[in-house]
Amino acid sequence: MKIVFKQPTAKVTEIFLSIQGEGVHAGDEHIFVRFHGCNMRCTFCDTPQSEAPADSSIRSVVDKIIDANPQKKAGAVTITGGEPLLHSNFLKCLLPALRDRGYRIHLDTNGTLPDKLCEIINELDVIAMDIKLPSSTKDKHFWEEHAKFLDIARARSVFVKVVVTDETDWADMEKAIGLVEGIDRSIPFILQPASEFGEFRGKPDNARILEWQKKAREKLKDVRVIPQLHKIEGIK
CATH value at residue 157 = 3.20.20.70
**The pLDDT value given to residue 186:** 98
Bridge partners of 18, per DSSP, are 30
Bridge partners of 162, per DSSP, are 191
- CA proximity to 159, closest of 88, 208, 111: 111
**The pLDDT value given to residue 232:** 76
In a domain, 67, yes or no: yes
The alpha carbon dihedral of 18, 19, 20, 22 has a sign of negative
Q: Which amino acid is at 74?
A: A
Bridge partners of 127, per DSSP, are 107, 158
**The pLDDT value given to residue 184:** 98
In a domain, 2, yes or no: no
In a domain, 4, yes or no: no
Outline where the chain has alpha helix (H): 58-68, 88-100, 114-120, 134-137, 143-153, 170-183, 206-216, 229-233
3-class secondary structure, 75:
coil
Domain holding 134, by residue range, is 10-233
Record the pTM.
Answer: 0.93
Question: Cβ(63)–Cβ(111) under 8 Å?
Answer: no
**The pLDDT value given to residue 1:** 46
**The pLDDT value given to residue 7:** 83
In a domain, 1, yes or no: no
What's the number of domains the chain is made of? 1
- CA proximity to 76, closest of 120, 29, 12, 34: 29
Q: Which residues in the chain show pLDDT less than 50?
A: 1-4
In a domain, 200, yes or no: yes
